[in-house]
Amino acid sequence: MSKSRIRRSFGRAAASYDSAATLQRQVCELLLAALPECGAMTILDAGCGTGHALAALARRWPDAQLVAADFAPAMLTVAGGGVCADIEALPFAAASFDLYWSNLTVQWCNPARTLAEAARVLAPGGRLAISSLATGTLAELRSAFAGTDHHRHVLDFSPPAALAEACIAAGLTEVEWSLHPLRLHRPTLVDLLRELKALGANEVGPGRRRGLLGRKTWQAVEQRYERQRDTAGLPASYEVILCTARRPIS
């Protein structure tokens, strides 16, 4: 995917992000619960967005130095400051952090490069805690658009084990991962698509459609999604991966 397009997408979404970040807050809590106790004195929030995780990290490690990093300047403005940086090429010295934290960011990046950088900036014995999304994410939306045209309408997500494999390849140890299916509901398909746009998550990479769907095609997509409606509304499924690891002491 084009990094410049992703940066612009998230930059445009900075003002609306927090109002739509239900999933991000839920996953933040799950990731905190999955993280073993550690004496973190320096913490990097890699891909911090608007900084929604910083308060939770500060509560758990009140004496730690927190560093927020994101490659969308507008997100950092909402977060109250931080380092503008690509997490695939961090501007920090090796062994700088006791905890590398990244909540729902890695799915937008190259996992191998991202995890290699995470391992580099972690101090010996430091911990890693990351969350991402796996292949079953937005399955209902993918199904509704299937066969519509030859364009891509939903981002392709990696298999669940890919994150753990990238951790191992980066030299991290004590790698543990788990899959957590979550399902949110929205009143209409338009509401879901507006929420994805408000989060900056509407960039789908190469092959995306550049123009609007025709009226009949759009109605067909809506009808296919409506068939999946349940008593709570239109479902949107997310396969959340939680992964923790450790940089070896020697």
Residue 13 domain-assigned?
yes
Residue 88 domain-assigned?
yes
- Please, where are the H alpha helices in the chain? 3-20, 22-34, 54-60, 73-79, 111-121, 139-145, 162-169, 189-198, 215-226
From CA 20, how far away is CA 199, in angstroms rounded? 6
33 backbone dihedrals φ, ψ, rounded to 5°: -70, -30
Chain segment 36-80, per-residue pLDDT in tens: 888 889 999 999 998 999 999 999 999 999 999 998 888 899 999
202 compared with 68, residue with greater pLDDT: 68
Span of 14-18, 74-78, 231-235 with lowest mean pLDDT = 14-18
Domains of the chain: total: 1
Between the alpha carbon of residue 177 and those of residues 22, 49, 95, 163, 200, the distances in Å are: 22, 23, 23, 8, 26
- Average pLDDT for 190-204: 69
Instruction: Give the domain range for residue 169.
Output: 3-136+157-184+237-246
Instruction: Please tell me the predicted confidence (pLDDT) of residue 206.
Output: 41
Residue 126 domain-assigned?
yes
45 compared with 13, residue with greater pLDDT: 45
Residue 147 domain-assigned?
no
Residue 119 domain-assigned?
yes
Please tell me what DSSP assigns to residue 19. H
Average pLDDT, the chain: 86
Pairing of the two strands 122-133 and 234-246? antiparallel
Q: Which CATH number characterizes residue 61's domain?
A: 3.40.50.150
15 compared with 183, residue with greater pLDDT: 183
Residue 39 domain-assigned?
yes
Chain segment 68-98, per-residue pLDDT in tens: 999 888 889 999 999 999 999 999 999 999 9
Residue 144 domain-assigned?
no
Residue 196 domain-assigned?
no
Per-position b or e across 226-235, b if 16+ CB within 10 A of its CB = eeeeeeeebb
